[in-house]
Structure 1
């Protein structure tokens, strides 16, 4: 019998919305300081820093655009559950890349683009949490607004880290945004590789059990993986390879089953 899957973690939509805006504000403050030379640097893959910066605005704009449209038909059940979202993103890469280049070319004033994006999001996304269960259209299918906002913390935190590595900036991560991002990707791992033989610890935000085998119930687990949130996020998104993280002591793994290589990355 396959291991039973746990109920999805609950997120407070008001706190998530606040975290999304806070992280976006951190990036906006950094964008104000970027020089033309920095904007021309390699950013992510084939994107320049300018294109990466423009892409970050899409994290909020996708929500704003969805809220302007009528609620999609076919509810009340969404087409994509929150834990399915990380695995649904790879097929959208080509369309996202094209839109990103168009966006960067169409907005020479990136600071103005950030101001407009934040203002639209603030106006269109309710602050009181009243629309949590409203369905919104995403690239992969309909999602509940509350769930879609959690995915925005992943987009913002991951690409903030990309921007820091490309430019040498030290853009901070909002604690709540970092926590939501870490927890969603940890829960996605447990969903992809259900079981109780390995305990994955990402202090101070998440602990999950995964991978089939003998289940640990008390005392010190025989198979433990532990790392920090940023390293975990890089592993989950393919920025860092499992073997590389182990070799550089960014991850500690004890026990013969404590190997996540076959389950990573979660997002392409």
Structure 2
């Protein structure tokens, strides 16, 4: 699958959703303790705004060899670091959500333009400095597509609106979730659930 195309496609679908969300829904429920505005802020920050900065920062060493390894790292990180990262993520989500102001769709479109322009100047095998360590562009960007699809679907549910991701984008995200489950030692339960053999363990998540 063309990771560049699926990223752009996911970003466009997210922007279309944001343009359809009524302004009076933004301060309503989003995800967990986040409002819908916070959720949009997190998605913008994690999947769009940081892309130009990461792509512009070369890393001296490849530390994370695959997209699934990026997500699996969070499961083995010390609990205090994970808690601190989650608190910082919430603070950032709220700040970024507030910065979307009265024209979230316009702000999102601007960030998409910046991200796709930066991506056009990056090579697949460039090693860049991500929050998890050095990664190849072709391995890191699918994690941003994953953020757009997962949190875009969260936002769609919260807003009570459909979101239209194309088949290739959904398939690439589902495949990454499955590979992450396998990397975490949960591949077989995921396979059995997907083939109707057994329900997933409770709780179950790959992130």
Normalized against structure 2, the TM-score is what?
Answer: 0.84
Structure 1 unmatched ranges of 5 or more: 1-11, 202-223, 228-251
Aligned 8 A contact 1:153 1:181 in 2: yes
What is the DSSP-based 3-state SS (H/G/I as helix, E as strand, rest coil) of the residue aligned with 1:265? coil
Paired residue secondary structure (2:20): coil
Number of residues paired by the alignment? 197
**Partner residue, 2:79:** none
Partner of 1:111: 105
Structure with higher Rg: it is 1
Structure with greater proportional helix content: 2
C-alpha distance 261-38 of structure 1, shift in aligned 2 (>3 A): same
What is the RMSD of the two structures over their aligned residues, measured on CA atoms? Answer: 2.4
SS in 2 for 1:266: coil
**Aligned residues of 2:41 and 2:98 also touching (Cα < 8 A):** no
Q: CA deviation at 1:259?
A: 6.1
Select between 80-89 and 150-159 the one with higher mean Cα deviation: 80-89
Structure number with greater CO (CA < 8 Å, separation at least 6) is: 2
Residue 36 (structure 1) shift: 2.1
Question: Is 1:100 the equivalent of 2:68?
Answer: no
1:183-239 Cα distance to aligned partner (Å, 9 max, x none) = 1111122222278xx4855xxxxxxxxxxxxxxxxxxxxxx4326xxxxxxxxxxxx
Decide which structure has greater strand share. 1
CA distance in 2: counterparts of 1:110 and 1:79, whole angstroms: 33
Q: Distance in 1 between matches of 2:111 and 2:44?
A: 7
Unaligned runs of 5+ in 2: 76-81
Is the partner of 2:40 in helix, strand or coil?
helix
SS in 2 for 1:61: helix
